[in-house]
Amino acid sequence: MDGNKLRVFAEAEQLFVAMLADIAAAKKRVWMETYIFADDASGSLISAALVKCAASGIETRLLYDSVGSVLTEASFFKEMADEGVDVHAYHTWFEALKHLSALAIMNRRDHRKLLVIDDTVAYFGGMNIVDHGRDFRYLDVPEEAAPELGWRDFHVRLEGPAQREVAASFERSWQHAHGQPISVRPRAYRRARLSEGKGSIHFFDSGHGLGFSRGDRVFRHILRGTQHSAVIAMAYFIPVRRILGAILRLRRHGRRVTVIVPVLGDMPLAKYATQYLFTKFLRRGVRIFERTNRMLHAKLVVVDKQWTICGSSNMDPRSLWLNLEFLAVIKSRDFAKIARCICAYEIKHSRRVVMDPHRPMGKRFLSALAWALRWWL
């Protein structure tokens, strides 16, 4: 697309292999931003690669979220810093206490997942640096030794001129994390306005304030233009306010809407909040599928076989209104075809949700409670 080469990953193993190869080939800079950086097998490999870059005189930065990586020992990051990696934790408890604003600071997380290599390659999507799924609960639906395969996700490697926009996004996030002022985004950017054309790639920094674009505006802008169908695959699907209205409006106008969510997740309360919407959606003809034996961690929307939204943002209040997120809006039939094929694979390994008038009262109560607490999940 316009001189850019895009490669899609749905599995962490292949993604990490590609990342390690690009990091090893770096000549100028390696910038990484992630919500979770674990000190497991994959994290250790990538950590060693970053340290090697720093030792070679390459500008090496790591921005990680202090809450997302809370299970990782501080010594793991200190060792990287001691070896020359410029390491920074986003919104720590020390920072919250220093500014006497614990709730505002600790409630807003850096949920982005970016990797910038030199001036040519960038990665973005939903995968953290962690071996997810090795000890996860699975249903007894076989999928070629599913417990060893980990989570399903959606991540993109980009090579080409659009990489500089991803690098600029990282730079702004880095400045923001260090308390430095960032410029106000133009009104058109904050309103998620897109240029016309046969094919295009637009990137959006989603977050709070005039330096960002609201994630809900990006999703609503594409959903509003749906002419035929929309497929939504989300790890955490708790649409609120105008996004919920936009989805229901599509059904009122006869558009086909398909939603794919995980049957089991790492946040049970969020799952109950999602189930609270099932009856409302099913009555309006929305098709809902629950991914069964593997955790679905994707953040993906495909509209009319030509528009694709991907990145780090879920359709939940935290991603849409609070966290720092990164979203890519790609207009390309070829790219949308790949995204739809991945969604079709998830549906193949899913069970379709149907109306259940006999759902236990206890589960109904939990769903109502979780929905009431949706802004805090």
**pLDDT band per the 50, 70, 90 thresholds, residue 306:** very high
pLDDT of 146 higher than 80: no
Arithmetic mean of pLDDT over the chain: 91
pLDDT digit string, tens, across residues 175-201 = 999 989 999 998 888 888 887 777 899
Q: Confirm whether 5-177 and 187-376 share one CATH topology.
A: yes
Which stretch of DSSP H or E encloses residue 375? none
Residues 100-117: what's their mean pLDDT? Answer: 84
CATH 3.50.50.60 fits 5-177, yes or no: no
pLDDT of 172 higher than 60: yes
pLDDT of 251 higher than 70: yes
The dihedral of CA 195, 200, 309, 15: what is its sign?
negative
Q: Residue 22: what pLDDT? A: 98
**pLDDT band per the 50, 70, 90 thresholds, residue 99:** low
Q: Residue 297: what pLDDT? A: 95
pLDDT of 136 higher than 60: no
Q: Residue 59: what pLDDT? A: 98
Q: Choose between 198 and 80: higher pLDDT.
A: 80
**pLDDT band per the 50, 70, 90 thresholds, residue 135:** very low
Q: Choose between 218 and 104: higher pLDDT.
A: 218
pLDDT of 132 higher than 80: no
Strands 155-159 and 325-331: unpaired
pLDDT digit string, tens, across residues 258-300 = 999 998 777 889 999 999 999 999 999 999 999 988 889 999 9
pTM of the shown model: 0.93
**252 within 8 A of 223, measured Cβ to Cβ:** no
Q: Which two tokens stand for residue 373?
A: 């607490």
Q: Choose between 213 and 99: higher pLDDT.
A: 213
Find the DSSP H helices in 284-360: 317, 333-348
CA angle 123, 164, 117 (to 5 degrees): 45
Q: What are the distances in angstroms from CA 342 to CA 11, 25, 131, 261, 301?
A: 11, 29, 21, 13, 11
Which among 130, 121, 106, 120 is positioned nearest to 39, based on CA atoms?
A: 130
CATH 3.30.870.10 fits 187-376, yes or no: yes
Q: Residue 144: what pLDDT? A: 56
Q: What are the domain boundaries of the chain?
A: 5-177, 187-376
How far, in Å, CA of 108 to CA of 323, rounded? Answer: 5
% of the chain residues with pLDDT over 70: 93
Q: Residue 101: what pLDDT? A: 67
How far, in Å, CA of 327 to CA of 192, rounded? Answer: 11
